[in-house]
Every structure is written in structure tokens, then in C-alpha cells.
Amino acid sequence: MILVLEYAAGGEIFDQCVAEREEAFKEKEVKRLMRQILEGVSFLHRNNVVHLDLKPQNILLTDESPLGEIRIVDFGLSRVMMNSEELREIMGTPEYVAPEILSYDPVSTATDMWSIGVLAYVMLTGISPFLGNNKQETFLNISQMNINYSEDFDLVSESAVDFIKSLLVKKPEERATAEECLQHSWLAQTDVPNTVFWTKNTEKKQMILL
């Protein structure tokens, strides 16, 4: 058997999420990549597929410089959701799992949207919003919605923060859908300055690699 696969020369977007300041994503780049991610996720959701492990390690780039297009990979945890079926499973990467997974409530397409909110936060700041010193602390941060939009977002546009806030909502039914995200004002803007947004707090840059 011979498999012919596309080569993602740019590697994981994770590498640039934790890169040094001059190599980190710029907000206009995050917008372009996020729009592509949402178009892919919207296609999955329209076909009743949930990914359930969206994170920077599972988003690849076709090229590194100039920045290429994205490819969503690793569907090992993905599920086909039927309308009459409820899925309850403890799965995913600790930093990116939604509250309903931790409370063992049914997962849905909204579960992916929570992960996209975390992903946008990481891409814009280089910081994992709910990461604790261990798994238990991380899960507690998620369950209690311990999230900070202050110092790490000093130079990030207000519409970008609003985009993240529309996704990091505890109740799944109140989160924006992929289609709604694509209509958000942040992704419609074309005048975001070409500025790298980063934090001086290097201790928070550590992220769990699973």
C-alpha cells in the first residue's frame, strides 16, 4: 500500500504560538488563519462531524514563509453526531477541553467552538488561558471559568477580545457557532495594524504537549 499525502512544510502553528516576539503571529495573520480554521470546522459541523481535539498541535501550515494555508489534522477523537444520539465522553487535551466534557454532559459542535476560543487566545497572546500547574488545577480553572482578559490583551484589538468572549462561554448553547464566528466583526476588519501582540510574562508561556 502506498499513501500519497500532502506535505505541510510550515509545521504546527504551535511552533509560532510559543515563538520569540519577532517570530510570533501578528493579529492580521491570526485573523486569516482563524477564518480558514472556521471554514474547515463549519464544513465539518454541517456534516455532523465534531473534531473534539482542536489545538495548535493539530493545525498545520502548508508553508512557513510566507505563511501558508492551514490544514486541520488528527481526527482520532472525532465523532459523527446523529440528531437522536447523545455522546458523553472524557476526551481531549486538558487545556482545550470544554466545561461540558469535565461535567460529563453531552458534547456537541459547541464543544469544538470552546476549543477554538482557547486556540484564538493562545494564537494572539502565546499564553494558555486555563493552564494550571497540573491537570487538576487546569480542569478547575476551566470549570470555574478562571480567565483573564486584562494584561495579556493590552495591545490586542477589542473586537478580537469580543470574538474570544463569544466562544469561552460556559453554557454550550450560548456559544457562537462556526457560521456566526465567520460573520463576526473581527474577521471582517481589514485595518488591524501589523503588530506582534505578546506578553512579558514568560512563565505562562509553557503549555502541555500531549
**Grid-cell match 501550515, residue found:** 61
The dihedrals phi and psi of 58, each to the nearest 5 degrees, come to -110, 15
Catalytic residue at 53? yes
Contact 98, 168 (CB under 8 A): no
* Annotated catalytic residue within 15, 53, 152, 162: 53
Contact 165, 149 (CB under 8 A): yes
**Grid-cell match 488591524, residue found:** 192
Q: In whole angstroms, how far apart are CA 155 and each of 32, 168, 198?
A: 18, 20, 8
Catalytic (active-site) positions: 53
